[in-house]
């Protein structure tokens, strides 16, 4: 009878120990910095990175289209030279209107 009486105590201790270990592991999972809070933080970072990647992908598409236009046509190159470098064509006139010059002439 002592053998059967000893087994329930050992079984209870084993079950108690397993429950204790389970509680410790659950506590680490829910409370610690490496648990669910870290997973949520990483998911938030992934979402931010996806949004940034999408914006950069759209920018890359625009730049790719601009490069293609510059490689294929003279009109795009001319337009870029006009806006960035102030290109003036052979048969064109360029006028600059300055308020300083108008005020100087009125003062004289």
The domain spans of the chain are 1-32, 37-89
Please tell me the distance from the alpha carbon of residue 36 to that of residue 30, in angstroms, as a whole number. 6
- Name the residue with higher pLDDT: 21 or 81: 21
- Name the residue with higher pLDDT: 85 or 106: 85
Longest dimension (CA), the chain: 127
Q: What is the pLDDT of residues 81-103, one digit of tens each?
A: 778 887 787 888 877 777 775 56
Q: Is residue 60 predicted with pLDDT exceeding 60?
A: yes
Residue 35: closest CA among 47, 25, 48, 23: 25
φ, ψ of residue 26 to 5 degrees: the values are: -65, -40
């Amino acid at each position: 009878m002592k053998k059967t009486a000893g087994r329930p105590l050992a079984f209870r201790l084993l079950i108690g120990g397993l429950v204790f270990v389970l509680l410790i592991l659950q506590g680490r999972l829910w409370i610690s910095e490496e648990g669910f809070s870290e997973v949520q933080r990483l998911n938030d970072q992934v979402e931010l990175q996806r949004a940034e990647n999408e914006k950069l992908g759209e920018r890359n598409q625009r730049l790719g289209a601009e490069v293609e236009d510059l490689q294929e046509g003279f009109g795009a190159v001319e337009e870029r030279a006009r806006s960035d470098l102030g290109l003036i064509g052979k048969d064109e006139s360029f006028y600059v209107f300055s308020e300083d010059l108008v005020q100087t002439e009125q003062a004289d």
